[in-house]
């Protein structure tokens, strides 16, 4: 890829962004709705990134050759990062945001690895393996979203990684039964062995047991620790982005509360946070923002590799399509 300063200025094409949004409206309704809580200058780049995630997930998951599908996606990314994207609205738009926000290639490659792990039913022996999976399918999203918000500080990005892992662990805890019926187990095998849970217990027709509940609780306890680690990063985001991210943190963590109220049974039914509760948590995020706090924890070992290609400051600051430019945390405070 040529140096950034040698590249011409680029901007998002409105029709291409609309095409990305249409793809999301069909395949990612939750993001399509949630994105309206982001400020306008972040909303369109985020839609482009999520549209790429949707395309990649479908291509890997729907075919018979996940490795071949990933190679196709890596080739497309080669063109995107060379600023010569294929003639597709998602690829054209992705090239624009890669250029404008100086997005790192290794984070995209890690995301694709996560899709392959899903498609090939990778085994997760220990918690470090489950955390590695969460780093690839969720912390990658946290890193890119943070960069799209204009924040490049590695301590803040490490907290975004923590939040991504916490959310994914919550997803795993919520979907134990659903995943088992699809032949997938993301709970650490060593934890299951220690609890006396056999592979047959999480076979094609699983039934809940206190032992499975104990492992689910253990995973949620791990997630709760990571939610706490992530919190100091939220006040370091641009002011207009904080409430949306804090609300997402509260809503996801609340899924764990619902699972606990069901005695950690996420096999007999799926834990859901009801709309009135979500609205209350969103109001809490708006009206009771997190205070600034020191950010001292190092990245998790499983997520540290995601931060290795991120420069502290982009050679050319990312500018939004409309509205005021996003500012880094240091100048965001008044």
pLDDT at 2 over 90: no
What is the distance, to the nearest Å, from the Cα of residue 51 to the centroid of all Cα atoms in its chain?
13
Q: Is the domain of 130 the same as that of 272?
A: yes
Give the position of tokens 């994105």: 35
User: How high is the pLDDT of residue 64?
Assistant: 83
Q: What are φ and ψ of residue 198, in 5° steps? A: -95, 160
Q: Is the domain of 74 the same as that of 152?
A: no
pLDDT at 117 over 50: yes
Is 61 a member of any domain?
yes
User: In the predicted model, what is the mean pLDDT of residues 184-209?
Assistant: 95
Answer for the pair 161, 310: CB distance below 8 angstroms, yes or no.
Answer: no
Is 238 a member of any domain?
yes
Residue 166's nearest CA partner among 236, 239, 233 is: 233
For residue 334, what pLDDT band results from cuts at 50, 70 and 90?
A: very low
Those residues whose C-beta lies under 8 Å from the C-beta of residue 241, and which sit 6 or more positions away, are 38, 39, 42, 149
Those residues whose C-beta lies under 8 Å from the C-beta of residue 159, and which sit 6 or more positions away, are 229, 230, 231, 232, 233, 234, 236, 295, 297
Q: Is the domain of 191 the same as that of 237?
A: yes
User: How high is the pLDDT of residue 253?
Assistant: 95
Answer for the pair 156, 237: CB distance below 8 angstroms, yes or no.
Answer: yes
For residue 35, what pLDDT band results from cuts at 50, 70 and 90?
A: low
User: In the predicted model, what is the mean pLDDT of residues 91-95?
Assistant: 96
Q: Is the domain of 217 the same as that of 69?
A: no
Q: Is the domain of 115 the same as that of 90?
A: no
Answer for the pair 169, 226: CB distance below 8 angstroms, yes or no.
Answer: yes
Min mean pLDDT across 39-43, 281-285, 308-312, 314-318 is at 314-318
Tokens of 284: 């809490």
Which is higher by pLDDT, 129 or 328?
Answer: 129
Min mean pLDDT across 31-40, 263-272, 293-302 is at 31-40
pLDDT in tens, 248-291: 999 999 999 999 999 999 999 999 889 899 999 999 999 999 99
Dihedral in degrees, nearest 10, Cα atoms 318, 4, 77, 56: 0
Q: Is the domain of 127 the same as that of 270?
A: yes
Is 319 a member of any domain?
no
Is 214 a member of any domain?
yes
> 46 lies in which domain range?
11-101
DSSP state of 5: G
Q: Is the domain of 132 the same as that of 272?
A: yes
Is 320 a member of any domain?
no
CATH number of domain containing 131? 1.10.600.10
Residue 228's nearest CA partner among 288, 159, 176 is: 159
- Domain end call among 48, 77, 101: 101
* H-state helical runs in the chain: 14-27, 29-34, 40-62, 66-81, 89-101, 105-119, 127-134, 140-148, 154-174, 176-181, 189-195, 210-230, 239-261, 275-287, 329-332
pLDDT at 234 over 50: yes
* 121 Ramachandran zone, left/alpha/beta (phi>0; psi -120 to 50): left
Q: Is the domain of 237 the same as that of 295?
A: yes
End-to-end CA distance of the chain: 38
pLDDT in tens, 219-228: 999 999 999 9
Q: How many structural domains comprise the chain?
A: 2
Q: Is the domain of 37 the same as that of 171?
A: no
User: How high is the pLDDT of residue 190?
Assistant: 97
User: How high is the pLDDT of residue 34?
Assistant: 62
- Domain end call among 101, 127, 143: 101
Q: Is the domain of 152 the same as that of 31?
A: no
Q: Is the domain of 67 the same as that of 170?
A: no
Q: How far is 165 from 57, CA to CA, in rounded Å?
A: 19
Q: Is the domain of 191 the same as that of 305?
A: yes
Is 189 a member of any domain?
yes
* Rg of the Cα atoms in the chain: 20
Is 328 a member of any domain?
no
Tokens of 132: 């590695």
Is 324 a member of any domain?
no
Q: How far is 312 from 193, CA to CA, in rounded Å?
A: 43
- Domain end call among 50, 74, 101: 101
């Amino acid at each position: 890829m040529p140096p950034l300063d040698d590249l011409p200025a680029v901007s998002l094409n409105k029709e291409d962004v609309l095409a990305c949004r249409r793809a999301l409206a069909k395949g990612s309704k939750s993001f399509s709705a949630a994105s309206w809580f982001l400020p306008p200058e972040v909303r369109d780049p985020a839609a482009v990134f999520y549209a790429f995630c949707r395309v990649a997930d479908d291509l890997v998951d729907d075919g018979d050759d996940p490795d071949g599908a990933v190679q196709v996606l890596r080739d497309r990314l080669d063109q995107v990062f060379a600023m010569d994207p294929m003639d597709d609205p998602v690829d054209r738009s992705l090239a624009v945001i890669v250029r404008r926000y100086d997005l790192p290639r290794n984070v995209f490659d890690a995301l694709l690895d996560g899709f392959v792990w899903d498609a090939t039913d990778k085994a997760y022996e220990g918690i470090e393996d489950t955390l590695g999976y969460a780093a690839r399918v969720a912390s990658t999203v946290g890193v890119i979203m943070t960069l799209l918000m204009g924040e490049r500080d590695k301590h803040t990005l490490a907290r975004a990684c923590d939040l991504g892992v916490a959310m994914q662990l919550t997803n795993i805890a919520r979907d134990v039964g659903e995943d088992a019926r699809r032949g997938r187990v993301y709970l650490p095998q060593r934890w299951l062995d220690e609890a006396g849970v056999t592979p047959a217990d999480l076979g094609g027709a699983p039934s809940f047991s206190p032992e499975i509940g104990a492992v689910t609780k253990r995973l949620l306890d791990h997630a709760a620790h990571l939610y706490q680690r992530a919190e100091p990063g939220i006040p370091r985001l641009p002011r207009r982005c904080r409430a949306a991210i804090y609300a997402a943190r509260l809503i996801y963590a609340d899924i764990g509360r619902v699972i606990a109220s069901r005695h950690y049974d996420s096999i007999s039914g799926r834990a859901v946070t009801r709309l009135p509760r979500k609205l209350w948590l969103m109001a809490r995020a708006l009206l009771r923002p997190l205070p600034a706090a020191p950010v001292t924890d190092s990245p998790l070992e499983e997520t540290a590799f995601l931060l290795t290609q991120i420069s502290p400051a982009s050679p050319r600051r990312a500018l939004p399509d409309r509205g005021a430019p996003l500012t880094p945390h240091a100048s965001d405070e008044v």
